[in-house]
Copies of this chain bind each other. A is one copy, B any other.
């Protein structure tokens, strides 16, 4: 399913970052959970049971660096319920948008060429040079284990 090779020190050196333990652990965490979405706090918690804990500030710094390097993607899912944290996922190359379950937090990813094209046309019509876009839909999924306000995904 996931075609990414596991992270190694060179993954980091290639983007001008020293291969430190916190960075390798965080990157590895995302590689082990491709397609999953995590807030900084969640990454922090997930790695908190390690022998050598990583500071929350470091998690924030590393996530920012990884996003700037294109390793991770950052989104903000803000339905009317207003969840204001940034969430990160592994950048697997393919652009996609999100469909988020308001009950359990499950996230489906999708790509739709028709929507992508319409967006470009609209931007052109309105005289904009399009740079990026964020489309998130919110609804209720029908997973059996839904309704429990679980995190990841």
Query: Chain A: residues with CB nearer than 8 A to chain B?
Result: 74, 76, 78-80, 82, 84, 86, 99, 101-102, 108, 110, 112, 114-115, 118-119, 122-123, 126-142
Contact = CB atoms under 8 A, between A and B. Distances in A.
Contacts of A74: 80
The complex is assembled from copies of this chain, and their number is 2
Contacts of A142: 127-129
A113 to B, nearest CB: 9
Given A108-B128, A139-B128, A99 B118 contact: no
Given A102-B131, A126-B141, A135-B136, 9 more contacts: A76-B78, A79-B134, A80-B132, A119-B137, A128-B137, A129-B142, A133-B135, A133-B138, A134-B138
Contacts of A129: 139-140, 142
Given A134-B134, A140-B129, A118 B122 contact: no
Nearest to A78: B76
B112 A118 contact: yes
